[in-house]
Amino acid sequence: MNTENRTVPRSVWVLLVAVVGFFAALATLPVPGDAAAPEQEAPEESFAIVDVTLFDGEAFRRNQDVWVEDGRVRRVGAKLRLPEDLPRVDGRGHTLLPGFIDGHVHTFGGTLGDALRFGVTSVLDQFTDSGLLAGARTARDDIARTAEADLFSAGMLATAPGGHGTQFGLRVEPLTGPEGAAAWVRARKAEGSDWIKIVSEDGAAYRGEIPSLERETIAALIAAAHAEGLLAVVHVSDLEAAREAVSLGADGLVHTWFDAALSEEDARSFARTGVFVVPTLSVIMGLFGDSTGLRVLDETDESLVSPMQRQTLSNRFEMPEGPDSEVALENVRRLHAAGVRIVAGTDAPNPGTATGLSMHGELRLLARAGMESHEVLAAATSVAADAFAVPERGRIAEGYIADLVLVRGDVEEDVTRTADIVTIWKDGYPVVRETAATAVSPEIPPAPDGPVVVDFEDGLDSGFGFGWQVTTDAMNGGASTADLTVEEGALVVRGETRTGFAFPWAGAIWFLGDQPMQAVDFSGRSVLRFRTRGDGRSYTVMLFGAGAAATVPPTVPFVAGPEWAVVEIPLESFATADPSIIAALAFVAQAPLGSFAFELDDVEIR
């Protein structure tokens, strides 16, 4: 037994393997973070985000656990003892932020949804239809699944007859002097305004001249608001108006100004009054063609951007030459340096901005104005909530509503990362970010009354909708071909189905909307009817509804024999199809592979 040279290494190996195996086995044991990677389906209502870098509204804290219960934050801390069955999100490598609060928006259409889909869980509206206010209060007090941000609003704004704010077509009751101020403020309070917004705008900064409220009226409004226990914030766009508003006791200014930089002395005196400023750099920089929102848009997945967001971002204010965007930034820098509270706000969806999306641009602009990451984020969370006395929001702390934004990476290091959102929770429920899924069914135009008939007498131009096109499996990587011609007043479809795609097809598609795959409402119609003849093989009609790409279209077969024959297919034969949403009908050859030819005529939906 010559084991001297073998036994020792073998025993040592066995020992090493055992030790490594022991630790490896320990490493496989379940840990809280294993429950779910953040990219997996987000838990709702009651869950925990563990081992995350937390911005609690004021400061960054590393390796924190956040326990959400019934839509509110139950506990925050390092290594919390969490119930075993509590769903967990692994927060490592991520930053958790309070839902953002946009300090200056205007609400209409789908803006509350747009805001929420970009992590803005509450908006501070500075002028909207006062009819929205009652509903907004109910909605925001309800801790439940929602697709919209919470709305806090000034409601109607206070302006002079013909002054700024009257040009939008919203109901405005202008003030002509200080005597009506008290009654006006009481009326707003009764409507549900959360604070009073006053316009001090003579157009000077825009090289124009428009009527504006008198100093006395502004003073009276501020006094009346305070008497009613409401904050009074003032729209300004020049330094003079800003000084005046602050001197009259305004609680906040909801724009910065760009006609002139304020002196450091002015900044200090502003700071002493405790006034806050919502600079709305997004809209102001947009005036100068410098839209950070567009930059955010470039980084954002297209499926997340609504048509309205895209449109408002691409809109432009007409801006005369002269003022300098740097002045606006410098004002913010000086205000911040002097200790004036800065609240992040975008003034979306004004031209050059998009609700929600522009908030991420605003954060970058505030950083450009010299604010640290935690100051920028506080401006968009806790400072905004405190300035406008918005309760239970703007922080991640015990008892606060679980409005949370989970972002990839370390936001303290790089504030531009806020846009790289993994999950948004509103009231503890994950927010669906894709526009397609959240959009309430888009406006679907109704089909004209009576049957829609295509007789091909005028060639391929069907006379209805976008018309007829070739469709083949080439879009799925297949090799089938088709060709459309009109001969003797009938559509002739010739082609060949070839191997290439798993389920080859080729034929003709009739787009019923003005654009390809745009749906048309055929409610009340029940039958697809057409005449056909052909080579005797079997063909298929496919019916495409909205969002066609996502679902398998329902199909009904038909045979094209040598003689012209009428085919009638009840629409209800198309399983899962909804007559109120029909985007296209395709007439195609499928298996068996080979060349085919058939004709269609007098295609009608009745």
Task: State the nearest-atom distance from the C-beta of 74 to other proteins, in Å.
Answer: 17
Residue with tokens 């003034």: 347
- Contact range with other proteins by CB under 8 A, out of 12-20, 147-155, 208-216, 523-531: 12-20
Between 30 and 399, CB nearer to other proteins: 30
Residue 22 lies near other proteins (rule: CB under 8 A) = yes
Residue 84 lies near other proteins (rule: CB under 8 A) = yes
Residue 190 lies near other proteins (rule: CB under 8 A) = no
Whole-Å CA distances, 491 to 31, 426, 514: 65, 53, 20
Residue 31 lies near other proteins (rule: CB under 8 A) = yes
Residue 83 lies near other proteins (rule: CB under 8 A) = yes
> Cβ(170)–Cβ(109) under 8 Å?
no
> Cβ(107)–Cβ(84) under 8 Å?
no
- Contact range with other proteins by CB under 8 A, out of 4-12, 196-204, 231-239, 591-599: 4-12
Residue 347: which of 394, 293, 284, 415 has the closest Cα? Answer: 284
Task: State the nearest-atom distance from the C-beta of 3 to other proteins, in Å.
Answer: 6
Phi, psi of 496 (to 5 degrees): -150, 130
Residue 35 lies near other proteins (rule: CB under 8 A) = yes
* Per-residue burial over 63-80, b = 16 or more CB atoms within 10 Å of its CB, e = otherwise: ebbbbbbebbbbebeeeb
> Cβ(319)–Cβ(439) under 8 Å?
no
Distance CA 483, CA 144 (A): 54
> Cβ(221)–Cβ(181) under 8 Å?
yes
Which SS3 state, helix, strand or coil, does residue 534 take? strand
Residue 29 lies near other proteins (rule: CB under 8 A) = yes
Residue 34 lies near other proteins (rule: CB under 8 A) = yes
Which SS3 state, helix, strand or coil, does residue 515 take? coil
Between 34 and 457, CB nearer to other proteins: 34
Distance CA 220, CA 216 (A): 6
Task: State the nearest-atom distance from the C-beta of 38 to other proteins, in Å.
Answer: 17
- Contact range with other proteins by CB under 8 A, out of 14-22, 187-195, 265-273, 458-466: 14-22
Binding-residue pattern over the window 316 to 355 for other proteins, x denoting contact by CB under 8 A: ----------------------------------------
Task: State the nearest-atom distance from the C-beta of 77 to other proteins, in Å.
Answer: 12
Task: State the nearest-atom distance from the C-beta of 396 to other proteins, in Å.
Answer: 21
> Cβ(600)–Cβ(587) under 8 Å?
yes
Whole-Å CA distances, 376 to 367, 382, 390: 6, 10, 18
What number of chain residues touch other proteins (CB under 8 A)?
26
Between 29 and 549, CB nearer to other proteins: 29
Structure tokens at 185: 């403020």
- Exactly one of 62, 79, 171, 272 binds other proteins (CB under 8 A); that residue is 79
Name the site residues for other proteins (rule: CB under 8 A). 1, 3-4, 7-8, 11-12, 14-15, 18, 22-23, 25-27, 29-32, 34-35, 79, 81, 83-85
